[in-house]
Structure 1
Amino acid sequence: MPIEPVVTPELNAEDHVLVDWLELVAFFNEFRTARLDELDAAIEEQFEAPADDEPDEDTDDLGDANGGNIAKIDAAKERLRESIENEVDFRTTDCANAYPFRLGADAEELILVEDWQDDKFTPYLTCLITTHLTKKSLFDFEVSGDLIQRLRNRVFQVLSTFAMAGLASGSAASIGWPRSDKSDIIATLKRAETRGAGFRTRDTPGRYTPPNEKDGGVDVIAWQIDVRPPPIFFYFAQVASGHNWPGKPVSTHSKLFERHYMDDAHRGNVNYATLLPFRIVDEDQWNNEHVIHGALLDRTRLPKHAVIGQALARGGVEMDEAENMPQVLSWLQEFRATALA
């Protein structure tokens, strides 16, 4: 296994994949640095001199050919540098202060910040790793089922709860199964009710509620905190750590969720969101899925809202998962140690 257990993508890979590769190499690297030299070498291989069995060319023509190749190599390197810089600039801007990487002064390397284990950086790193636990992975090792299960059952749920609190500028309740405190949905909603969520919870689930229902298709609810309820904004949210999220919004479950568990539904503006670990780059998909999902918090949106949610919790706003950010860092550290073992 290489020092950094990451597969180098094809040179014609999309810009966001190349930057993912640099980020992963820097994350695993002893010096927290990924250099672009390997990509330069791949470019140069595309312009290798003709094979020995090909006809010889006269010296002048060969000189012209070599000069042309050098110019093409330099142009290709420049285009690659520019595309990578543009993508890193976008991530830096859209993540605000939650992006844990920076380009070197000469754009020859991508560097993981020294304090990457700070809670403001772990959301992005978790999303980056989650992206490559499924199809088109850049990992050059087999990830244990236990790490994947903990990510999907707990770690990404914790981050999503903070992110929804940040998006709503208020509080949030973690509905998705399995819930850390083993509470049923009714108890979880009654706790949210006492925090000003603006609805009244049933004492028991409605008569048509499926007997084995775990979360009713809703992973997080969040609401804006005001002087008095109902909150101006109320969110239903879905946590989607896999690639089968398109066209499957939480709004398809919310009406039944209300009927099954609420006597008196919230009376503010109802909104919907889906939280994703991926970097959504297709503009058509990005805009069309917003119409379907209400709002998308992808890899560059989720971290900055999670940071806001953490600040609210530290400021005294009560919310579920408030004490569970250490689970995220612990998972990241274990993932890194396992990959480098």
Structure 2
Amino acid sequence: MTDRVISRPASKANSTTILDFLELVALIDPSGRARIDTLIRDQELQAEQAEDDFGDADTAKDGFVENIENEFNRRASALGESYPFLMTDDAEEIVLQVPENDPLAGSYLACLIASQIGDKGDLKLSIPDQAGLAADIITRMRRRIFQMIGTIALAGLAKGPAGSIGWPREEKETIIASMVRAVGRGFPIPVLEEPNWTALDGAKDGGVDVIAWEHTDMPPSPSVWFGQIASGRNWKGKPVIQDALNFSEDFLTAKHKNANHATIVPFDLDGDEEEAATLHHRHGTILDRLRLSVRFKEGLLLIADGIEMDESQNTLVAMTWVNEFVAGLRIINEAA
């Protein structure tokens, strides 16, 4: 039972939230399994209590399971062998099956947790507070784990190196120092020796968390990317475009003529197509959970090919964080 650490999805929940719930139950439960039929009975009970019409039992069950299967297949297609779950042949259970030392599986699980954590998540996933360290767990996720994931993913999107410049930077270096390293790896715009007068006093990252640029054997790189990593739910109204313009003015000698922009979030864009189109238009590109996974996988391939980038030495930290988080949740659950 996991009721102590996660809320069951509402009777009208979409298939994204429902599969998130099943995946989280399989992740948290020591058995590594989540039963779909148990959730179906719960959904029927909720519908009865709310006096909603769940419809003909067999027809409703078939449609419910089909929607879960479709969403499962969508995720499995994006992650391939790194997808850390499987569905039994009878479509009755979701089973945890994490490939050993797989950075992509770890990044997916970290994003799954981040998208549902706390009171604002649809499933209100609890935050373990072992020895009063709940704040530390969340801080590490936002500042280090998701920073690593976003950096590698933007590299995959740009098809080249990436720089992790969001605050706090791992080595506590200045923006200028981190950008000098990026220029040494092929970032095509020279960096100023000191921040421009336009930079705000005490600016730590200029509103930009990640930069990336296309790798080429014939420099300069033809395109650059500015990315913002957003783990909070208020990201929709905060596109990185203006911050990128300010960053170029404050720290670079010029603006690149082929600059692109991306907002990186752990959530799954399951809204209507019109809203999704509007958000992509405002943000340039949105790397939500599955798009993020695809680009993260491409970033890992670049690292394997010898492309130097920030965070390349940290690709396994996501799974370490997930294991610590789950261990804390199990302590809460077992105390019930």
Give the TM-score normalised by the residue count of structure 1. Answer: 0.88
Give the corresponding residue for 2:318. Answer: 328
Shift of 1:2: 3.9
Give the corresponding residue for 1:83. Answer: 67
Unaligned runs of 5+ residues in structure 2 are 129-133, 332-336
Structure 1: how far apart are the matches of 2:206 and 2:218?
28
Structure 2: how far apart are the matches of 1:317 and 1:159?
16
Deviating runs (4+, > 3 A) in structure 1? 1-5, 43-48, 94-98, 139-143, 264-267
**Contact kept? 1:237, 1:275, Cα under 8 Å:** yes
Unaligned runs of 5+ residues in structure 1 are 49-68
Matched, 1:41 2:41: yes
Shift of 1:324: 1.3
Residue pairs, 1:258-277, within 5 angstroms: 258-266=248-256, 269-277=258-266
How many corresponding residue pairs?
320
Q: How high is the sequence identity, in percent, across the aligned residues?
A: 38
Matched, 1:132 2:132: no
Instruction: After superposing the two structures, state which structure 1 stretch, 171-180 or 281-290, moved more.
Output: 281-290
> For the aligned residues, what is the CA RMSD?
2.2
Change (3 A) 1:263 1:13: same
Larger radius of gyration: 1
Structure 2: how far apart are the matches of 1:200 and 1:167?
22
Structure 2: how far apart are the matches of 1:4 and 1:27?
14
Change (3 A) 1:335 1:117: farther
Give the corresponding residue for 2:186. Answer: 196
**Contact kept? 1:4, 1:28, Cα under 8 Å:** no
Give the corresponding residue for 1:27. Answer: 27
Shift of 1:178: 0.4
| Counterpart AA for 1:295 | T
Which of 161, 175, 182 pairs up with 2:172? 182
Structure 1: how far apart are the matches of 2:204 and 2:139?
17
| Counterpart AA for 2:263 | T
Which of 107, 116, 130 pairs up with 2:91? 107
**Contact kept? 1:193, 1:199, Cα under 8 Å:** yes
Structure 2: how far apart are the matches of 1:116 and 1:137?
30
**Contact kept? 2:226, 2:261, Cα under 8 Å:** yes
- Counterpart secondary structure, 2:313: coil
1:152-203: per-residue Cα shift (whole Å, max 9, x none)?
1111000000001111111000110000011100001010001111011100
Structure 2: how far apart are the matches of 1:199 and 1:41?
59
Give the corresponding residue for 2:200. Answer: 210
Structure 1: how far apart are the matches of 2:276 and 2:84?
24
Structure 1: how far apart are the matches of 2:212 and 2:180?
14
| Counterpart AA for 2:149 | L
Which of 168, 172, 188 pairs up with 2:162? 172
Shift of 1:79: 1.2
Shift of 1:95: 3.6
Matched, 1:279 2:268: yes
Change (3 A) 1:270 1:140: closer
Change (3 A) 1:71 1:164: closer
1:259-299: per-residue Cα shift (whole Å, max 9, x none)?
111114445x2111111100111122211111111111101
Change (3 A) 1:25 1:311: same
